[in-house]
Amino acid sequence: MNPYIFKRKDEPIAIINLTEDGSIVNYKLNSKNEELAPLHTEGSTNWLKEWWKRRAVPIEQGHIKTMLEKKGLLSPEDFLVKNLGLSLTDYYWISPVDSGLKWKDVNLFVNEFYDDINIAGETQRDSHIVPHYTPNSSLQGTLGKCWTIRNGKRGMIKGNRDYFSAESFNEVFATKMHELQQFDNYTPYKLIEIHGQEYQYGCFSELFTSESLELISAYDVVVSKKQPQNINSYEHFIKVCGMYGLDESVLRPFLEYQIMTDFIISGRDRHLANISVLRDANTLEFVKPAPIYDSGKSLFVNDSVPVNNKDMLKIATESFQNTELKLLGLVKDRSLVDVDKLPSAEFIRELYELDSNISENRIEEIMRGYEMKIDLFSRWQKGEDLKKIVVNFKSKPSNKNMKDIFVE
């Protein structure tokens, strides 16, 4: 077993023992610094083992499995250990016992880091010049992505799940939507050309965490306090955030705006790791909701477009509720989104026509679906009960398979 000190910056939180493949065998907490520990499931006796396993990059992400094999690494946890558990979203890391390493030596918010899996095919910094640490060993999600430093700016490059650039286009479309709404708490994404991948475009967003602000997922918030049986997870999240200093009058409008804009673009992947808050590094108080991020799985990506309102309103989601319709039921202020200040459907065409793999038929289907969602949202905003709306969009379902729809 290999002993390490689990730290928050330079404060020791626990002594941990790791196996050769990077899993935690056991640990002993430093009782003086328990308040500095990551938020975790209240009452759990194995929370650090669970937290460490979740921190490792998912084996399903991009080409991680192939990369691990090439490096001779035994598991994602092994990759995490080799990079000291470092991240660009918080200040937790591990230091080999008696190594003498300090936070200033490994802090990736200020130190250079190694671009070991740059998915854009960009020139990688020489590992002989910069420390051989990367924050990519703790990068979450199954989509191909990587942390990098471009033109002096730390940020993330995101790719796509197949050979279309749709998910990257959707991030840019969401950026445009928030910009037109004059909403100021979102992550701007910019298109970049990709080399060496099946798809043509990815997108880049700058880092929104810092040495003074760290990211806490809604999942970690929700499990950190026992949820009463008489309230749902959405209200529990708002309540717990209030306990940590984030006022409901700030958080609730943000969540409602996010729910409504996700509905408009059919964003169905707003699970509790795609909703977060920012926490002050020193006081540990929640400061504000994290900017809206990860909107790529929207605009019917990898799905057929529903042909009528009835089917459109059955879209399932991963979030506080399991359907878009139920999520809308959580909204109290329907006026937070201005339906007259949404991107036009033509903007979808402008983006999607950049990808030579996507057919005109597919583009038109997405535009039609988007216009249906705007119509439904507008009617709901005016007070209509969407459950009672009759089918009024008539469209013949296509007999083509998905490849025929997507590829000319």
Same domain, 268 and 353: yes
Could you give the angle at which helices 233-243 and 248-264 cross, rounded to 10 degrees? Answer: 140
Q: Which domain holds residue 248?
A: 213-406
Can you say how many angstroms the Cα of residue 4 is from the centroid of all Cα atoms in its chain? 29
Confidence of residue 122 (pLDDT cuts 50, 70, 90): low
Q: What angle do CA 380, 252, 211 make, to 5 degrees?
A: 135
Average pLDDT, the chain: 89
Task: Tally the domains of the chain.
Answer: 2
Same domain, 241 and 381: yes
What pLDDT score was predicted for residue 407?
34
In a domain, residue 75? The reply is yes
d(CA 26, CA 3): 10
In a domain, residue 151? The reply is no
Same domain, 219 and 138: no
DSSP string, 61-95: STTHHHHHHHHT-SSHHHHHHHTTT--SSS-EEEE
Tens digits of residue pLDDT in 49-96: 999 999 998 777 666 787 778 778 778 898 899 999 999 999 999 999
Same domain, 373 and 254: yes
In a domain, residue 154? The reply is no
Same domain, 224 and 352: yes
Tens digits of residue pLDDT in 330-358: 999 999 999 999 999 999 999 999 999 99
Domain end (from 89, 118, 142): 142
In a domain, residue 167? The reply is no
User: What does pTM read for this prediction?
Assistant: 0.90
In a domain, residue 248? The reply is yes
Domain end (from 112, 142, 172): 142
In a domain, residue 38? The reply is yes
In a domain, residue 296? The reply is yes
In a domain, residue 55? The reply is yes
Confidence of residue 131 (pLDDT cuts 50, 70, 90): low
Domain end (from 95, 119, 142): 142
d(CA 18, CA 27): 9
Same domain, 262 and 385: yes
Same domain, 113 and 220: no
d(CA 223, CA 79): 27
Tens digits of residue pLDDT in 250-283: 999 999 999 999 999 999 999 999 999 999 999 9
Q: Domain containing 281 — which CATH number?
A: 1.10.1070
Q: Is the pLDDT of residue 218 over 80?
A: yes
